[in-house]
A and B are shown apart, each in its own frame.
Chain A
Amino acid sequence: MRRKPPEPMQVVKQRRDAALARMAGAIPYVQHLGVTFERRGDELTTVLQYDEKLIGNPRLPALHGGAIGAFLEIAAIMELAWSQVWERMEGGGPAAEAIDAGRFPPLPKTIDFTVDYLRSGLPRDAYARARVNRVGRRYASVHVEAWQDNRVRLFAQATGHFLMPQEAA
């Protein structure tokens, strides 16, 4: 069996970044809310770019609880979806080719989502990282942590359960 020479790192990185950008770009509400993603290897950091339209309490001012909830839910779903896409890209073969061609698996669906508001969101950028605690064939459980200036001073966290897409192929 002949092995193909390893691809240059730049090519690999470009492919991963392109897949991530394609996934994120396809979700209108992610764009509308101003959420972006930063990638280091398979680790994602979800970023909420501050904008005046995210304010819920103009007096404080503080971010809207709904915007914070949406941001955390986006982080959880993307982490799950990205881990599935990553696996396929790494696995090679037809599954990886499908991703390269822009054919992504359907997104997981939220079953329930519980947000714990720890302190008010300041009018500045926010960051979130999600951890998939368990993913089975059907269900997944994901935890998300969000912070602003200080990684250990969380301003919100959430736990959610998701229904994994059932695919024919």
Chain B
Amino acid sequence: MGDDEDRLAVARGFIGGLPHARDLGMDILEAADGRALMALDYDPRFVGDPETGVLHGGVVTALLDTCSGAAVWLHPQSGGPTATIDLRIDYMRAAQPEKRLFARAECYRVTRTVAFVRAMAWTESPEEPVAAAAGAFTFEMRA
């Protein structure tokens, strides 16, 4: 368990070092092999539709992208930094205003050069997703 806590602390330090993640107030809640759970708090500055108070899709994209990148970075075979090659987001429902936004990502497959990730975002329950993502990321195998 100590290892997992250490890893979470390292991951939190890493996320905290990314200015854009810090700007949006992202936090990492769980860090496991090829998996990450992240969240960000609702903020009126992040609203995309003033009529409804719903978060901008771009904020959801940013959390899903960061969480996916973290899952790649947490893959046991990862040996270097990663960058997004391609990311597809499907929006299923609006993020509930005033609620915390969560994202979970899984790096389910890697080759020597590419990591494949799927991710999900929700506000109230993972059973009612706000968005789903599928991405490809650059990958460097640990030497």
Q: Do A66 and B47 touch (CB < 8 A)?
A: no
CB of A109 within 8 Å of the partner chain: yes
Shortest beta-carbon distance, B120 to chain A, in Å?
14
CB of B44 within 8 Å of the partner chain: yes
Knowing A113-B88, A113-B89 are in contact, say whether A28-B59 is a contact too (CB < 8 A). no
- Contact of B45 (CB < 8 Å), options: A28, A63, A114: A28
Interface residues of A in 51-100 (CB under 8 A from B): 52-59, 62-67, 69-71, 73-74
CB of B2 within 8 Å of the partner chain: no
CB of B127 within 8 Å of the partner chain: no
Q: How many residues of A contact B (CB 8 A)?
A: 39
CB of B62 within 8 Å of the partner chain: yes
CB of A139 within 8 Å of the partner chain: no
Q: Do B19 and A65 touch (CB < 8 A)?
A: no
CB of B83 within 8 Å of the partner chain: yes
Knowing A69-B87, A116-B86 are in contact, say whether A53-B58 is a contact too (CB < 8 A). no
Q: Which of chain A's residues have a CB closer than 8 A to the CB of B89?
A: 69, 110, 112-114
CB of B51 within 8 Å of the partner chain: yes
Interface residues of A in 15-57 (CB under 8 A from B): 26-33, 52-57
CB of B78 within 8 Å of the partner chain: no
Q: Which residues of A contact B (CB under 8 A)?
A: 26-33, 52-59, 62-67, 69-71, 73-74, 106-107, 109-117, 120
Q: Which residues of B contact A (CB under 8 A)?
A: 17-24, 44-51, 55-59, 61-66, 69, 81, 83-91
Q: Which 7 A-B pairs have the closest CB atoms?
A: A70-B58, A66-B62, A64-B20, A29-B56, A65-B84, A53-B23, A69-B61
